[in-house]
Structure 1
């Protein structure tokens, strides 16, 4: 295991419980105490964690989130989806992230990647987002260039919506866009609860070379108020193992690739 792989493994241990001890790193990664401490110090310098006596805790964020983020459901599934989404991202990409709990999880996984956090004279990743909580989270990562759309804050979701958000998105090109939804159905398509969020999400998808839907399996078969348009504008859906064989087949017939995290 090289140093970059080791640092990524330490961050994985941290993500599992929110804290990690030097002894855990020694036992699980088979390294010396001195190496474990150096790795923690390196990650602390990169602002990826906060050192404590004998270990580290996850980096805290100095803002409060709406209740939907605090009382997040299906958190393990969303973390798996976020890791699968991260696997599609190459260092140097321009990535679009809409708002929502799954997109927030993706931002967390991306910011924890050792190759992205590595010191560099240029940004290792560019993220374009209309979610102010994601922007605040990534602003602490010096190797991620964070571009925030304008717009009016939607108090329920912390998403920026409206003409200003759409104007900024119309002027950028994305390598990848990850779009969260409130419902996904092979016949109706992707839907969200708010028509203003739908407009921004649809535009973000249209500005990307590859647009990917991200939704845990509880969203499959559900239909919300506002549609994002035809499924053929998306190249794939990333979901969890809760998707049924019948649902997989239906999406296949609709021409949408499904990545099961």
Structure 2
């Protein structure tokens, strides 16, 4: 939920920052140990800017998030904070680790938000403990049934008017069939996206939640991607299972130190 991209009304207006949970509740501290808070610093010709997003730990040295969280221009520095509950407290559980490099999906489009996924390589491995743990990904052929209730956590806005929270919040959302998203988002892709939300419930992800996982049956089936600023329903998530082969391929490249060219290494 970083870049505020100006897109025609037929498309989406991605959230700036890292989205906040609307209509949810504060989680039990450290009950979502896979969650990552991304601090993003961008320096370009006009100055230095700071933003944030969500993410999740899939290996001790690898975090998944939404590609639109990471600007493609300027000098970009990303720091991952693991083991956090109150992001503005100096909690002993927190681990701050710089991101060494990252790779966007080769077909990522910042305008349509197709293939909105980025894999980050940490400079050092996280220490796995009770407050910092990995979350599993679905296999490439796994799908979540319509009607399944899933959870999304984050540090994003708690209202449409920008109310903020320092502590992690969570909301339960229902997986929809594709029709609501196809109706609202002209370029919705059913093979690589998930339509999620509860109509008329007042519950949603929002600005600042981008990049966080949609957890269904204890696996990260989706990645918070985008939605319309003017409405809470529906929201679009990147479908993790569709990208599972690509993710595994990039993790092997990480292990061999053969990461493709990316913005932070250019």
For the aligned pair, the TM-score class normalised by the smaller chain equals under 0.3
Structure with the larger strand share: 2
Q: TM-score, normalised by structure 1?
A: 0.25
Q: Which has the larger radius of gyration?
A: 1
Q: Which has the higher contact order (CA 8 A, sep 6+)?
A: 2
Structure with the larger helix share: 1
